[in-house]
Amino acid sequence: MSTAPAPGSLPSTPGKIIAVHISHESRAAQRGRRPAAPSYFFKPSSSLGASGDPVERPEGTELLAFEGEIALVIGSPARSVSPAEAWRHVAWVTASNDWGLYDLRANDKGSNVRNKGRDGYTPVGPRLIDARTVDPTALRVRTWLNGELVQEGETAGLIFPFSQLIADLSQHLTLETGDLILTGTPAGASVAVPGDVVEVEVDVPGGPSSGRLTSRVVEGPGGFDPALGSLPSVDDRQREEAWGSREAAGLPAAATGPALSPELREKLLKAPVAGLSQQLRKRGLDHVSIDGVRTTRPGTKLVGVARTLRFVPYREDLFASHGGGYNAQKRVFDAVREGEVIVIEARGERGSGTLGDVLALRALARGAAGVVTDGGVRDYATVAGIDLPVFSQGPHPAVLGRRHVPWDADLTIACGGATVQPGDIVVGDDDGVVVIPPAIAEEVADAALAQETEDAWIAEQVAAGHPVDGLFPMNAEWRAKYEAAARARA
């Protein structure tokens, strides 16, 4: 290896800065997803900064997030190296802060070009630790926000050890002298605002240290031009991920608990929508039908918890800023959880598709219970062949941008004339789709099933030749006969 550089400086400007998406077990647990293999993104060398440099949050933006990380500086070229020999190609270890502006994340999530590539968004230092003097499995990274410790992670708790990251990268590209690898952040990464001071330190407890890498957040210029690219935008999901939790972001708790237990789900699978609608009407809820939609797969049943998505009417400038890239529509289909129904507000506009075969397959792969849209569906025949309940206004060949802009998600919407909130229970069959408030779902299901048993008995009497007068609905005489028959069956 070459002679160690002066403290506080890298040996040279990196040709590549490679960052790992998720590598700490604690971060995976916080995000609720554990990757099976490492994944990466590039940061430009122009994003490099030093300890003491200000970090700008552009005017008009909200979610500037810090991520304290261990940075590895490559000391000699590595190409197709094994994990056993990988560490020999690392010259130094230091602290880094992988800053990101979540307001710009929506349309380049994964690549992170704009939100993490801004000038000064990769400060490193202030000192370099000689990699030959440390055990790569015994390092620690800590982060302080305004003097309070908010992150702490050890390399013993990595999903992917450093040797694996280096070997994996080297089988695809040559790691060159001076290249920088940011190895992922532990749990606790969150949002900083102008005036905040964030410090990151990498050390071996009781041994060598990078010193504290200090960044002060300042307000920077805004003025993004919508003619050039998408504008900053945030939603509650971005806030939750940037802050680290819904609670930290000041958001209401997500619906949890027994809103749709396996037992309740089984009842709703048996209860016909017509019967559920009748019981809801008896309880004063007569505006809970999602009107105008029909299933692509007659004979299938839909039961799940609502996950909402809203489209707004097409407008050229808004579609330019929100319609492309990793937009709200794609984020919902990528994040839908098992048992959830994606409910789309399309304003009853059927002159455009609101999903097609690719998104239907993504929902199926995620374990979604189904999709309900009061708009159209592209690739209708293919979607109908996918084992996923989809209810819509019918087929249409046009793409989304003909009528809609995908706008936001996880909020109260209107679909087919019904108000739908995240966490509502959605049930559909060949008769249509109804929305059930979770608080009364059990009661409504039980009543609908009881009514179904009663209606089946009435149908037997009509089939036997009895007139419907007095039988449907039952008068006192027929009610007594029914109850007697029920006792006999019991």
One-character DSSP codes across 91-152: EEEEEEE--EEGGGTTTTTTT-HHHH-STT-EEEEEEEEEGGGS-TTS-EEEEEETTEEEEE
Asked if 305 and 340 touch (Cβ cutoff 8 Å), the reply is yes
Any long-range contacts for 32-39 (C-beta under 8 Å, 24+ apart)? 34/159, 35/159, 37/160, 37/168, 38/159, 38/160, 38/164, 38/165, 38/168
Phi and psi (nearest 5°) for 447? -65, -40
Annotated binding site for Mg(2+): 379
Asked if 98 and 190 touch (Cβ cutoff 8 Å), the reply is no
Cα angle value 274/428/289 (rounded, 5°): 65
Structure tokens, 483: 């109850």
Annotated binding site: 356-359, 378-379
Rounded to the nearest 10°, the torsion over CA 333, 411, 343, 364 is 20
Distances (CA, A) of 152 to 1, 140, 185, 187, 430: 30, 7, 9, 8, 54
Strand 340-345 to 370-373 pairing? parallel
Round to whole Å and give the CA distance between 62 and 222.
12
Structure tokens, 229: 């690219």
SS3 sequence, 374-417? CCEECCHHHHHCCCCCEEECCECCCCHHHCEEEEEECCCEEECC
Which class for 253: exposed (0-12), middle (13-18), buried (19 or more C-beta within 10 A)?
A: exposed
Round to whole Å and give the CA distance between 290 and 344.
11
Annotated binding site for substrate: 356-359, 378
Helix axes 262-270, 441-463, angle to 10 degrees: 30
Round to whole Å and give the CA distance between 396 and 414.
21
Contacts (Cβ under 8 Å, ≥6 apart) of 301: 269, 389, 427, 428, 429
Structure tokens, 278: 């009748």
Round to whole Å and give the CA distance between 128 and 9.
8
Round to whole Å and give the CA distance between 181 and 189.
18
The residues facing 465 across adjacent strands are none
